[in-house]
Homo-oligomer: A and B are copies of this chain.
Amino acid sequence: MTKKNRSRLGRPPTIKDPVRTICDAAASLIAEKGYDTTSLQDVANAVGVTKAGLYHYFPTKQALFETIVLDTLEELYRYASAAIAAETDHRAKLTSFMSAHAAYFSEHGERYRASFFGRSGDELANYTPQQVAARKAYTRLLEELLENGVRDNAFVVSDIPTFARGILGMLNWMARWYRADGPQTAPQIAESYAKTILAGLSKD
């Protein structure tokens, strides 16, 4: 192989917003087939670049997956924190948090499913420190919302961390059963959950 050929093989692919395009294609494959059975070659084929081209952006499948998960956690945080900031009432903030989480999931279903259900086994054991921090920041957003509401007597929650995880469980599990062609949108379902929970939290 001549030097010129080698440099052609290794040049960056000429696709628009390559990192996002590669991550989207990979998320779609991982959401469907799972992390372990998706190869970098599958991703390269889906994007229409060579594997060498892919290496410019992601040296390993692990690095690619880490980017997808981290982006998802950070985007989810931005969706939810913007939704909370738009409300003044504590109870409305909880409804908006849940609705925004569901909106993110319904708008970015493949990224979401790839991130939360793409890798089997003990998923959290594989988290990088950055991912752990992003996951924790998201959970804290909900916990602080609940803490502020309890402080101002907007509702009663006896064990905030446990309760926050229950709310996140209701929302995360939607990725397993929700179908976009059903009678309700994902945010509508989240709002119906919020309504019941808020009614339940009014009592001691």
Chain A residues with a Cβ under 8 A of chain B:
30-37, 113, 117-124, 158-159, 162-163, 165-174, 176-177, 184, 189, 192-193, 195-203
Contact = CB atoms under 8 A, between A and B. Distances in A.
B121 A37 contact: yes
A34 B120 contact: yes
Nearest to A165: B177
Contacts of A121: 30-34, 37, 117-118
A32 B166 CA distance: 23
Nearest to A119: B120
A192 B120 contact: no
A75 to B, nearest CB: 20
Contact of A170 (B170, B195, B203): B170
A145 B115 CA distance: 33
Contact of A119 (B34, B113, B176): B34
A36 B201 CA distance: 42
A113 B124 CA distance: 13
A9 to B, nearest CB: 30
A168 B178 CA distance: 13
Instruction: Give the top 4 A-B pairs by smallest Cβ distance, nearest first.
Output: A169-B173, A200-B200, A34-B120, A34-B121
A171 B170 CA distance: 8
A123 B120 CA distance: 10
11 contacts: A31-B121, A34-B120, A117-B121, A159-B192, A163-B192, A165-B177, A166-B189, A169-B172, A169-B176, A196-B197, A202-B203
